[in-house]
Amino acid sequence: MSNTFRNSYLFAAIITVLGAILFSTKAVVVKLAYQYPIDSLSLLALRMLFSLPFFIGTLVFQKSVQDQMPILRNDWWKMAAVGMSGFYCASYLDFLGLQYISASLERMVLYIYPTLVLIISAIAFKKKITRIQYIALILSYIGVAIIFSGKISTVGNSNPLLGALLVFFAALTYAIFLVGSGQMLPRIGTRRFTSYSMIAAAIAVLLTNTIINGFDLLKYPLEIYGLALFMAVFATVVPTFMIAEGIRIIGANNSSIIGAIGPVSTIILAYFILGERLYPIQILGTLFVISGVLIITLNKNKQKTVAEKIAKA
């Protein structure tokens, strides 16, 4: 595969679409796992435990030109902090939320993270929010309100408000991860940044689980380990590198546009695998959320992508 194609918009679009679809399987797998006796932290620990060898192996065996660039002293704690936000806090809050709401509703709430990226960027980097972006924010949060104004006490939604709140904070911490990764990825490199961040998060999760539950991860049914392994490889490792590479090439905003397929994919998978259903009012709310997110990301497409900056450097 030529370097030209690997830095093209088409390549980035393909891997981002595939990454978004694979990521969307995570909520469905978690709901399947909750049919067995396991708590959120232990399930997350198994996911991280099975993911860890892949990220360590990536650092050892996968080298690129960017991997020769020096990592500054401050970069280490920044990567750890960003990893804790995106791979520990966001994941744990999301797993907790899935105990109370369906996979479909989880994905709808989680998908507002681009609006949070916009707000964080405005606060942290003094980026002005335009009038059209304010409109998009209003549309997105009206959509969330519509989703939860209808009949939401369905199967899989034992405490929808608590579940939605937990997933919202998961979206917030994931947005912090995206803002942080967008600043560091071009210089450190996709593989190194993602691997070090994930390793830091995995160590923290395993330590936390050991303190709270003891390191007793061998007591669960065989099906749990199969689901956790699938989630580690196909809903964590593979899509993490896909999405990170997409962000490196075309930026977080363009990746968010393409990633709009994620909620749709989750809804379809949840319908066929979990038997979940959506009511018309929730579909309407979803359209509002997706519309608001797309307006935000399309409005920011005037900015140069990382690939364009590199080409002109």
Average pLDDT, the chain: 82
pLDDT tens for 237-259 read 898 788 878 877 877 667 766 77
Stretch 4-17: mean pLDDT: 79
Give residue 309's pLDDT band: very low, low, confident or very high (50, 70, 90). Answer: very low
Provide DSSP, 23-86.
HHHHHHHHHHHTTSS--HHHHHHHHHHHHHHHHHHHHHH---GGGGSPPPHHHHHHHHHHHIII
* Joined tokens for residue 165: 């709140």
In this prediction the pTM is: 0.82
pLDDT on residue 200:
92
Provide DSSP, 192-217.
HHHHHHHHHHHHHHHHHHHHHH-S--
Q: What is the rounded CA–CA span in Å between residue 46 and residue 49?
A: 5
pLDDT on residue 226:
96
205 vs 68 pLDDT, higher one:
205
**70 φ/ψ angles, rounded to the nearest 5 degrees:** -70, 145
Stretch 51-66: mean pLDDT: 80
Residue 58 · residue 202 · CB < 8 Å: no
Stretch 285-299: mean pLDDT: 79
Give residue 3's pLDDT band: very low, low, confident or very high (50, 70, 90). Answer: low
Q: What is the rounded CA–CA span in Å between residue 290 and residue 121?
A: 20
pLDDT on residue 311:
33
Give residue 281's pLDDT band: very low, low, confident or very high (50, 70, 90). Answer: confident
pLDDT tens for 19-55 read 989 988 999 999 999 999 999 999 999 999 999 999 9
pLDDT on residue 136:
85
Q: Which residue, 7, 170, 175, 145, is CA-closest to 94?
A: 170
pLDDT tens for 120-141 read 888 887 778 888 888 888 988 8
Stretch 72-99: mean pLDDT: 90
pLDDT tens for 153-169 read 454 567 888 999 999 99
Query: Is the pLDDT assigned to residue 303 strictly greater than 50?
Result: no
pLDDT on residue 256:
67
pLDDT on residue 68:
65
pLDDT on residue 151:
54
Measure the CA angle with vertex 50, ends 45 and 54; round to 5°. Answer: 130
Give residue 297's pLDDT band: very low, low, confident or very high (50, 70, 90). Answer: low
Residue 271 · residue 244 · CB < 8 Å: no
- Residue indicated by tokens 């978690």: 30
Classify the phi-psi angles of 101: left when phi > 0, otherwise alpha if psi is within -120 to 50, otherwise beta: beta
